[in-house]
Chains A and B, each alone.
Chain A
């Protein structure tokens, strides 16, 4: 049974094939450590490529002062490095813009993992490389295994060195070729000793730390295994596409939970490796729960970073929002057919788990048929740091004021009650006060109220009076209950409040988006849409917003007259906006591309094109929360859709106008042509009659009649040309193609111009084997007539006019030559321009005839040109492509 190839696999292969088209190819030289000879190998290949006449340049080369390497680079063009001033030190950096504008076939960029000096467009060199690839330039580059993102922590485990500069796995996976540059560790150590890798002073240090033989062996294994896995994947892709083998199996999907602790990065990396090994899809999930609300900024950032890492590792990232973390994760996992859930091992103290329960335990119990993998972290210090209550509550003086006030009131009431009621009832009044404070304010004011209540109650009403001493032990219990009640209620209240806050934020966002889309759907002008959206975003996010819309005529960005927008676009910022428009990706402050910019720039991506850029300048702290950013992106999407919609509406309106204009023009043209031709017909006809009439005896009268007839005819030709030109200009040329014989068309043209050329010697030389051509016969004949008329006008009587036609190199060539005066030098091309008349002749005419010829020839996919002959005279050459042969004609 023939197996049907998995459509997803086919699509992947098609995508890969597609990607290759138009995009540059990437080759990575992968090594286990510095000094294995990656750069040397790369240069070697570059020299080979150059021998094959490829256009090779060096974009950036790190020779580390090795003479062999430097020798290899001889003869290769080097793009000058950019000098950047970094805190007083001038640093040399790869010049991306120069490379893109130089546009070589192949460029060498050493050290892929390099971090660019701030002030460069991208934060990382690998982003430069991506842009080069996008520009259709092939790239050779080098990288060491420890820089690959997903291997980062393994390398750290092996070597004890944490590498900060990493490159995303996706880049490596998408590389068209990877060459492992490998030498045995002993060899590398030997080279190190010989001073071929580092300068002598550094050798000792290197040998004792990183370049230990055990390290090198492990790294070498890592590099080889990574490459082997890649090869394995490629073989699978190939085989899957061929539909050859492999039992069908369900697609693995891994969900990794990102928790707000230090382990999250490690969990994500492990999950990514596992996903890679299983060829599984990976989804990284973080849950926005009320618990999270109490987290400090560092923990929030940790989540953001872990999600970003996951994204870089090729995962889809999702932020869920729920009270019940486990329930939501399981629901989501089921909805997305997740097969495995990966979580980090809990780092909380044991007693907390016993008391509050553990997410992992609940997850394992609730997971059902989904596997749950728990990953350990060596990092014990990963307890989330809770800052409770949140910052704003510390400064809520009114809360404390309320606590004091309520306690005073309670004390007053108690003072009135004192003596009439049991002491326990006095406690109730205090408890009421504490409950009130706890329900209105957060934990600290409530605690204060509890403490104050306990204190005043003890001091004023518990014997011994006016002393904090307590005679009866049972009051201690009362105090404890009061304190506990205060804490419990305030905790519950603040949690409730957080939930309401979260809900109202969500509500506000949804409402804002809803309002926006409602308003946008009723707005027609792009400027209005931009202004309105900008105002909304400003309201919701509290930032400066500018909307830059791409002009469809010029392709440039323009901003509407937004008087309230204080966003100033300095030239530098404008460049960022343009980059975003070109690439359709976010850039600017807070991103990895052009992070030095003042604003954050989001592309307004519509269906197919980027219709503009949304510029955001944070007034206070920049927003880095992915949920918020995502929300901002929602705004951008709405905006893009609205702009696209107006664009489309405009298009259809313009198309309608165009049709209407066309109709009007056509009716105008036909009425003009009718109104001009009829009088011309009458004039030339009447003059003709006069000339032929026997009543005109005076030779002078006869000559006058002749003059009228000739001039009327000429005027007729001019009118015809003018109308033809108008028609061509108006809507291009509509060809009515049929199989035509060139001999026939030339014959017809010659007979039409017979009267004009009667004083010339006209000769024809038409090859008998001309094929039939798919042409518009009327227009092609008109072309030849125009050229013949041209010859009649510009060459003296008695000279030769020759028409030749033959096939040549898959084309039909028509040559029309005359013996007339040559064209002025350099005007051979210009004679085809509209209203052009040669500088030497002052002949009549609009100078339209040849322009029409060129338009007609070009509409046929042919060419026309004029040259002065060496033997004198001028030749016009026309070529017409020969497409398919004409269908067979039955003999008979």
Chain B
């Protein structure tokens, strides 16, 4: 993080806020704390932060509603903090406009990585300079030329496979829900046809991964969606 980023934490747990505060280097990030949803929304409006960390279990209003209300007027990246087993909440929050999520308990490394990815995504879409070539590990995707290389060897993808991959590439490092992928690639009428994704993700993995059963690029977030690992 080059310049000092502003981060708003919306969480009712004092200890959690204190831990998050301790996790950031004060020289790199400035933290603003809110202990409920209403206060959080006000704080975001006042400080215009770079990232919002949003806990879903808030005392006053539902975290999902906070995400929805924020999305009405700001595109600030929102990262949701929630426990495993609450996949439905996560999907709802993501579909409501949150950008990513972290499952409690999480490590600091994980948190920083998520924030990094989100900020990068924002800066990319703000500048409209979508990098035409994406490269991570042995995978290289040229969106403009519609070319995919694995370990230097060109791989042939079907149009849908490519569309799927390019969607993942544009959100590299971030989770994409089933719904988001289905609507983007097949259209809104197909938002419930998750088995399309199972089939095509399987095909993509078999073409891109050295061991499709232990994927290094496209990972599954059970019950939520998929993620293209960026680092």
Contact = CB atoms under 8 A, between A and B. Distances in A.
Interface of A: 670, 673-674, 677-686, 688-689, 692, 709, 712-713, 716, 720, 723-724, 736, 738-741, 743-748, 750-751, 762, 764, 766, 768, 772, 777-778, 781, 803, 886-887, 889-892
A764 B109 contact: no
Contacts of A750: 213-214
Given A764-B214, A891-B158, A685 B220 contact: no
Given A768-B206, A892-B158, 12 more contacts: A681-B104, A682-B18, A686-B19, A709-B107, A713-B105, A738-B194, A747-B214, A748-B219, A748-B222, A777-B222, A889-B196, A892-B159
Interface of B: 13, 15-16, 18-19, 22-23, 57, 83-85, 87, 104-109, 111, 158-160, 194-196, 198-202, 205-206, 211-215, 219-223
Nearest to A738: B194
Given A745-B222, A747-B220, A680 B87 contact: no
Contacts of B213: 743, 746-747, 750, 764, 766, 803
15 contacts: A680-B105, A681-B104, A681-B105, A681-B106, A683-B105, A685-B19, A685-B106, A689-B108, A712-B105, A739-B195, A741-B199, A743-B212, A748-B222, A764-B211, A889-B195
A743 B222 CA distance: 12
Interface pairs A-B: 4 shortest CB-CB: A739-B195, A681-B105, A764-B213, A778-B223
Nearest to A674: B57
Given A674-B83, A887-B195, A689 B214 contact: no
B230 to A, nearest CB: 15
Nearest to A727: B85
A685 B23 contact: yes
Given A674-B57, A741-B201, A766-B213, A685 B108 contact: yes
A741 B107 CA distance: 29
A751 B22 contact: no
Nearest to B107: A688
Nearest to A754: B214
B145 to A, nearest CB: 20
Contact of B15 (A679, A741, A772, A891): A679
Contacts of B202: 741, 743-744
Given A677-B83, A745-B222, A803-B213, A684 B107 contact: yes
A890 B187 CA distance: 13
A686 B198 contact: no
Contact of B105 (A716, A743, A748, A803): A716
Contacts of B22: 686, 689
B16 A678 contact: yes
A397 to B, nearest CB: 91
B105 A781 contact: no
A217 to B, nearest CB: 78
A772 B199 contact: yes
A118 B164 CA distance: 85
A682 B159 CA distance: 45
Contacts of A724: 85
A886 B109 CA distance: 40
A678 B17 CA distance: 11
Contacts of B19: 681-682, 685-686
A452 B93 CA distance: 111
Nearest to A683: B105
B45 to A, nearest CB: 27
Contacts of B221: 748
Given A743-B213, A744-B202, A781 B222 contact: yes
Given A689-B23, A772-B195, A747 B223 contact: no
A739 B194 contact: yes
Nearest to A684: B105
Contact of A744 (B57, B196, B220): B220
A892 B108 contact: no
B158 to A, nearest CB: 6
Contacts of B16: 678, 681-682
Which of A745, A778, A781 neighbours the largest number of chain B CB atoms within 10 Å of its CB?
Answer: A778
Contacts of B111: 685
A886 B196 CA distance: 10
Contacts of B200: 889
Contacts of A768: 206
Given A685-B23, A750-B213, A751-B219, A678 B13 contact: yes
A743 B214 CA distance: 9
B222 A772 contact: no
Contacts of A886: 195
**Among A686, A716, A781, residue most surrounded by chain B Cβ atoms (within 10 Å):** A686
Given A743-B212, A889-B195, A678 B222 contact: no
Contacts of B215: 747, 751
Contacts of B105: 677, 680-681, 683-685, 712-713, 716
B160 A744 contact: no
Contacts of A681: 16, 19, 104-106
B198 A744 contact: yes
Given A678-B104, A681-B16, A764-B211, A688 B109 contact: yes
B229 to A, nearest CB: 10
Contacts of B23: 685, 689
A723 B160 CA distance: 41
Contacts of A683: 105
A739 B214 CA distance: 20
Nearest to A678: B13
B104 to A, nearest CB: 4
Contacts of A685: 19, 23, 105-108, 111
Nearest to B87: A778
Contacts of A736: 223
Contacts of B57: 670, 674
Nearest to B199: A889
Which interface residue of B199, B202, B214, B215 has the most chain A CB atoms within 10 A? B214
